[in-house]
């Protein structure tokens, strides 16, 4: 009888081990598949940089020397890094009183700088250096230019897209 119980215990043990093995395999079973879906992302926009003349230019005279136009450029933090080409004087205007007196904007000229500005990091202010500054001068017209004495010029500074 001992043998009978021993066999029976052995059979129960083997059956239990087999059931445990089947359960273990079943616990690790899985399906494989693929999938797809959609999402979205937004692209920001650029904001124009702010170019501000620093310092003042005084003493322009007919056929006199040119004067550099120093400036700063502010790049807002949300704008990201921006690459800027050359900053030029795109327009020179004479105040209305002197223009009425005969001072002509065409008597003044601007020269482009020799170098581009380059990359201006987000959230920073760039200060111009000699090679990036345009210049202005008063040309000799061959006529009396007294109407321009004491005139105030408005310079429009423009930055070209960088590359």
pLDDT tens digits for range 33-92: 888 989 898 887 777 899 999 999 999 999 999 999 999 999 988 888 999 999 999 999
Q: CA end-to-end span of the chain, whole Å?
A: 97
What are 63's two structure tokens? Answer: 């056929």
Q: Where in the chain are the domains?
A: 1-33, 50-161
Spatial distance between the Cα atoms of 77 and 44, rounded to a whole number of angstroms: 12
The 3-state DSSP class for residue 122 equals coil
The pairing of beta strand 125-127 with beta strand 82-94? unpaired
**Top-confidence residue, 5 or 9:** 9
- How far is it, in rounded angstroms, from Cα 105 to Cα 26? 90
**Which pTM does this prediction carry?**
0.73
Residue 120 pLDDT: 95
Q: 3 pLDDT exceeds 60?
A: no
Give 40: exposed, middle or buried? Use CB within 10 Å, 0-12, 13-18, 19+.
exposed
- Residue recorded with tokens 């170098």: 115
Q: Report which listed range, 5-9, 11-15, 44-48, 112-116, is most confident.
A: 112-116
Residue 22: Cβ-neighbour burial (10 angstroms; 0-12, 13-18, 19+): exposed
Contact 66, 138 (CB under 8 A): no
At 5, the pLDDT band (50, 70, 90 cuts) reads very low
Backbone angles phi, psi at 72, to 5 degrees: -125, 155
Strongest mean pLDDT among 14-18, 23-27, 85-89, 157-161: 85-89
- Section 1-23 average pLDDT: 61
């Amino acid at each position: 009888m001992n043998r009978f119980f021993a066999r029976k215990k052995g059979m129960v043990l083997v059956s239990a081990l087999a059931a445990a093995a089947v359960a273990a395999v079943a616990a690790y079973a899985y399906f494989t598949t693929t999938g797809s879906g959609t999402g979205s992302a937004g692209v920001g926009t650029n904001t124009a940089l702010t170019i501000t003349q620093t310092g003042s230019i005084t003493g322009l005279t007919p056929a006199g020397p040119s004067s550099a136009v120093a400036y700063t450029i502010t790049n807002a933090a949300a704008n990201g890094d921006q690459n800027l080409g050359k900053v030029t004087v795109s327009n020179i205007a004479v105040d209305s009183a002197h223009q009425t007196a005969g001072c002509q904007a065409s008597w003044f000229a601007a020269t482009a700088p020799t170098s581009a500005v380059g990359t201006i990091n987000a959230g920073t202010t760039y200060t111009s250096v000699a090679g990036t500054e345009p210049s202005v001068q008063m040309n000799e017209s061959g006529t009396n230019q007294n109407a321009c004495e004491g005139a105030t010029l408005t310079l429009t500074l423009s930055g070209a897209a960088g590359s």
